[in-house]
Structure 1
């Protein structure tokens, strides 16, 4: 079942099934995005395709190439004026979410009695989870490597499993919360009240010519290649650890300002399909079996992580959406940028039909990638 062709086929079939369910059954209210995550999680936990622990070159390829390609394709339809529409509110909500994550980590350590339950690694775990829920897994691994947690196989694997499950669960939550909260506490100008998140988008029926498709694929592949080269060159020459996704974003935005590029057929369709592939892998990484290997400790790790995400959610949705009355979609996307990183935030913006928030979501997600490690070490070394 680990054959890459089999894995890729199952992922694509899951997308196909989810589209059919969205179009022909009562599950249409969930939307294709949510159905893809749930269906792939079920398939992976049944052992039909590899789980996160078993891994697959397909998963690695999707994270390495498909996720940044989806960013590139979707941004080809974005104008720079879109950044003005949600720049400051998105940034403020993201920083509020980072504060919520940090408070959650401190509260979680106290509630579960971290020094007793996790031993000498309690500071490392707090820093790791703070980092990953401010900017994604790169921060998680950086802090884990510093403290040597990777050498503790069971603890590390169990924490990764819980992190994956919570990340997938929070993606589902941020898909549903704007819709539910928007019905109770409406916001003026919230586009979700006009266009429901499950509404079929025009780009899903976009006509694509071979010429446009070839140009788009060449531009996408060339951009990723150039971004990797520039990242390596900057690191070797100046020691700058510049995120390659920011280079991809910059190139895509520059190209998008040319009318001839924006008029290429298929960019939005390719972007949407690659987003679905990325979300399918998010579902596959929602692995329950990995928790069996660490026994009772899995309960404490799960509780610890759940407290962090819960406090984060209460702060960003309660203060940001409730007290400050921000657009629920902006709050949800900022939260997803914290918990899942730039690719997840961009995927959520697309799923919520908020193309005006695509660029802000990637910008703050990339900010989190750079900020999360520093805040994680701050929580571990200073506050604890």
Structure 2
């Protein structure tokens, strides 16, 4: 994941300007669900302009736009639903901070949905416009992540969607976005367990790289989940007429899930930091063990080197009273070895008794 993933216009560009990005990819797909207490209709639309006929009905409408939205699609939606230019600009320039914007008769919400794409953490921006009888959801993914909500709506015995206002649908989508953090944190938990095992058995440079990578991903995740909790707090306490009192209890539950995710996230960040400390301590301990062994070996060989150096001087003069008599002894060589072995054994016994080895 890149450190900076936000798309933006050139500095000085007029506010509300919609400029196409170079990496739009495949064309967008528009899935519309129109429902009342008596019927539910699902259609695939060729373009945003086809939504016009549904605006004249008394039903509730969910418009799901998947893929990288292009300026033309956003302009068509903006003209049909009178969406604010600045909000449309935020939709096009992804990487926005999760937030809640209140307009005259609309709510504009930006949420962040984390997920694992293989072994890589991705965070996508979910943009939502909420009006009296409609909800527009824009997701840059080609595959629709909100299919579980759609399946619940299709159930004949599920009356919550059809009997409640559009704010309940908003809750269902935000609940899915919020709860997507649990499987991501579960994956983080598995990685932490593996790294903990590596730290105890064989810490190396690969372990250090994994710890740094995990800390970085946790930091990026924290950067988007904290403002998302503020977003849910705002929905839970807002007095906007689009959010009804009987739905705020569901937003409180969603907020509670967000708090649990953040608490787990903070715990994992502390664990990753402690693992980095453990790694550094382990490496320091291994270095100390190596230095201790080398010091013991050097300490043992210092007196042995002294003895060998003394008897290597070869001052052998029979007429001098200061000559080395041991050089002429029959058992002089075995004696020198015996002295050196005794010194080494004595030092090993002394080190062991002091607990140095």
More strand by proportion, 1 or 2? 2
TM-score by length of 1: 0.21
TM-score by length of 2: 0.22
More helix by proportion, 1 or 2? 1
Structure index of larger Rg: 2
